[in-house]
Structure 1
Amino acid sequence: MASIFRHPATVVLSVLLGLLVVVGSILVPWAVQAPDRAAQEAAVAALSVDAVALGKEFAAATRPGSYIALALSLAVALLLGLTPIGSRIIAACGRVGRGHWLAEAVLGGVVIMLIAQLVTLPLSAWRYLILVEYGMSNQTWSAWAVAVAKSYGVNIVVAAVMLAGLYGLMRWSPRRWWLWAAGVGAGLVMAMSAIYPVVVEPLFDNFTPMPEGPLRTELLELAEHDGVPVSEVLVSDASVRTNAVNAYVSGLGPTRRIVVYDNLLAAPSEEVVAVVAHELGHAKNGDVWIGTTLGAIAVASAAAGIAVAGRSRRLLRAAGVDDITSPRSAALLLAGVALVGVLATPVQNLVSRQIEMRADQHALELTADPDTFINMQTGLSEANLSDVDPPGWLHWWFGSHPTTAERIAMAEEFRR
């Protein structure tokens, strides 16, 4: 244990975690506060009783499967990582490549990741059936399977690159690999923020330029008035897979664009403008940069954390490996990532909610039209079958956005 505290990675990890707290305290808009409970209850009371009930019914139908999937994937990851089972599977995969370290790292690591994901596949299929039952999915079974396969494919590619890079650095610099991994990992997070919209998003949706017309002109003028340069206004063919509606601004610099779901275009144009005004708030306030910066520091911290954890002989013995730099430790690393991910979820969602509330404020200030904002939030909640006022503890843990009740109450406060 003493060797862990003496290791340079421990000092770096402490500094990075402190930096994460400092940067988060400065960049995240903590001053933005949700309306009080009485205002939220008044907002719910003004909504359709049937729509509120349907949203809660839909949430009650989908939540159990989501929670079971989360618990199951975590349990399998921990089983594979904290017992010799995972290292043995990786060793077996390595024999396909004649024991080469790259075969163990990439093939073995990917197999471990897929096992943890595939055990939840029946629960994903159950969720798909619920979405179909409630009219939220337009996909056939074959289209759903293709979408799942694409998602797994993206995960495999990302995991293979990360595992090959990490264990390659370990072999190249056995003593200082974690410093290199911290820098390279942080850089990759930055790069992915820019290339994700043009590389990954087209794998799941087709995008076409919004035709010339009053709405496109209004959206571009809104962005110009807001001082947010965008390269294009695109329409996503989301309706082929879902009846949920949305819009977003993605990308950095030359890749930044406004994306509107095609099924959102059925809403009144002023409500589409209100949705986009919210999304422009993210670009205006540099929220992509905030998330990217925090993510880069977190990834660098993870690299140092792996080096620190790798000094624990107890962990290594439990995982059935001799050294953290052995590719057979991939199962242990993935278990740690899964565990930290679950534990960090409330903090990540708290940060996300603060950022989303600021974007809501921005939309209200940019459009100066709280009535349309309220109509827009009401329409979105009905179209997406949202639980407009979920239980507090669930929202604290899993809620990445303010509730509909909070957002409507905010608009009412703005009106007053």
Structure 2
Amino acid sequence: MDSINLRKIFDETCVRHGILVLLWLEFVWETYLSIRQFKKAKAATEVPDVLKKVMDKDEFEKARQYSLAKLKFGFIKDTHGIILTTIIIYYGFLAYAWDYADFINPVKGEVTNSCIWLFIVSLVSTIIDLPLTIYHTFVLEEKFGFNKQTAGFFVWDKIKAFLVNQIITLMISSVIIVIIKSGGPYFFIWLWLVVCIISMLLLTIYPAVIAPLFDKYTPLPEGELRTEIESLASQLKFPLTQLYVVEGSKRSSHSNAYFYGLFKSKRIVLFDTLLAKDDGTGCQNDEILAVLSHELGHWSYSHIIKNLILMQINLFLLFLGFSILFKYPPLYEALGFHSVRPVLVGLFVVCSYVMIPYNTMLSFLMTCLSRRFEFQADHFAVKLGKAEPLERALLQLNKDNLGFPINDNLYSAWHHSHPPLLERISVLRQSAVKTK
């Protein structure tokens, strides 16, 4: 064996092992954080004073057991994922999928081959993950009273989600391949511009066109709550055009509220599980208004726009990194691609594996920024005189969702994009005092 082949094998091996080292380091770090949180939750058996008015000992214990169950499931899921990924990389299964895609492809060409390959990989991945998904929905969530899905609803929902995701993904992937292949040495600029346009288009049409395929959206009925929400929007000059209730209770009893829309057309969506129920769950009208005041704080401080700008900057940096690295043969050979170098595979390897350190650090920084935004939105609600109902809403939502309020500081700093409940209430009260 000559020196060139030896060097080729050496480079390929180094890249493969380098990718695996990065993946396993990330797994070890996440596992370490989860163990810290597990120990914290295991030891915390007393209801915090702040919660004693809304959560008794039994409810607190149920929330604690729910937290522990999710942590155990997360460990199993992460372990399953890292072992599977290691096997796929080490034995070159992605390359086998490419060869099979090429074998069944009636129209030879990189675009069609990449689309078939991507479909095969997505289908196999979905099937492999299905047992864990079923367990999470029908065992873990069912045990704690959150799952509302029937088996038929679950199956049809997953099929729809898979098909819609494939249609969108394959269309975008085709465009990406064409731009990379024909865009010249500065293709990453054209790629970034096109993906920016596509992402903005998807953000616009998804809530109005795609989301209704999965959940039923109905206008909030006329009444006191609708009048108060419209009055709040008018007071803040929020360009509210539609006000919906989404039937989230068919899927889960978890609750939420959000707004969407660009420019001068905004829509507010309330989960039906957020509305007050006879069983004591849900929020009263003043609490819902406080939650919406918080959400409108995000709009007032342009948090959505800032996040979109950061997302586009991140995309540009990822594509720039890809443009520098994608012609390096060992990147492909490390995954078993010895005779071909599909650009879609290169994009996947660079963005998902090579840039793990960058992605990890960015995720942490975005979590920190998100927390800052949440505190700002809370302060906005306080300035509107919503401090007391917002605190009640946070406590009620935490109770309804079995949120566990005791967190390891390092785990929380790394994972929680929203401030922990106890810290959030403490800051909320301080803000209320300062505002008076």
TM over 0.5: yes
Change (3 A) 1:47 1:327: closer
The count of corresponding residues between Structure 1 and Structure 2 is 376
Shift in Å, 1:45: 6.5
Provide Cα deviations, 1:61-110, integer angstroms capped at 9, x if missing partner: 12222343345445545654576321221121122223322222111023
Corresponding residue number in structure 1 for 2:60: 52
User: Are the structure 2 counterparts of residues 325 and 130 from structure 1 closer, same or farther at C-alpha, using a change threshold of 3 Å?
Assistant: closer
CA shift, 1:331, in A, is 5.5
Amino acid paired to 2:332: L
Deviation of 1:130 (Å)? 1.2
> Higher mean Cα deviation, 344-353 or 263-272?
344-353
1:353 alignment partner, one of 371, 388, 407: 371
Distance in 2 (CA, whole Å) between partners of 1:197 and 1:78 is: 36
For 1:265 and 1:160, the matched residues in 2 are separated by 38
Q: For residues 199 and 211 of structure 1, do their structure 2 counterparts lie closer, same or farther at Cα, with a shift above 3 Å needed?
A: same
- Give the whole-Å Cα distance in 1 for the aligned partners of 2:89 and 2:351: 7
Q: Which moved more, 1:145-154 or 1:41-50?
A: 41-50
8 Å CA contact 2:381, 2:387 repeated in 1: no
Measured on the aligned residues, the alpha-carbon RMSD in Å equals 2.7
More displaced 10-residue stretch of structure 1: 342-351 or 395-404: 342-351
Deviation at 1:342, TM superposition (A): 5.5
Partner of 1:111: 120
Distance 1:320 1:95 in 2: 17
Task: Give the match for residue 285 of structure 2.
Answer: 269
Q: Does 1:194 find its partner at 2:201?
A: no
- The DSSP-based 3-state class of the residue aligned with 1:232 is strand
Match of 2:135 among 120, 126, 130: 126
- More relative contact order, 1 or 2 (CA 8 Å, 6+ apart): 1
Tell me, yes or no, if the aligned pair for 2:322 and 2:347 is still in contact at 8 Å: no
Q: 2:307 corresponds to which residue?
A: 291
Match of 2:105 among 97, 104, 107: 97
Matched to 1:388, the amino acid is P
Residues 60, 360 of structure 1: alpha-carbon distance in 2 compared, 3 angstrom cutoff: same
* 1:65 alignment partner in structure 2: 73
Distance 1:264 1:331, change over 3 A: closer
Q: Which amino acid aligns with 1:187?
A: I
Separation in structure 2 between the aligned mates of residue 386 and residue 200 of structure 1, nearest angstrom: 30
- Distance in structure 2 (CA, Å) of the matches to 1:274 and 1:413: 17
Which residue matches 1:28? none
CA contact under 8 A between 1:109 and 1:331: conserved in structure 2?
A: no
Deviation of 1:210 after TM superposition, in Å, equals 0.9
Q: Equivalents in 2 of 1:393, 1:227: separation in Å? A: 40
| 269-278 or 165-174: bigger deviation | 165-174
Alignment of 1:226-245 (within 5 A): 226-245=236-255
Paired amino acid for 1:382: K
Larger Rg: 2
Is the Cα contact below 8 Å between 2:326 and 2:346 reproduced in 1?
no
SS at match of 1:89: helix
Sort the Cα spacing of 1:139 and 1:378 in 2 relative to 1 into closer, same or farther, 3 A.
Answer: same
Distance 1:127 1:302 in 2: 33
SS of the aligned residue for 2:258 comes to strand
- What is the identity percentage for the equivalent residue pairs of Structure 1 and Structure 2? 22
Q: How does 1:201-240 map onto structure 2 within 5 Å?
A: 201-240=211-250
- Contact residue 93 and residue 104 of structure 1 kept, 8 A: yes
SS in 2 for 1:175: coil
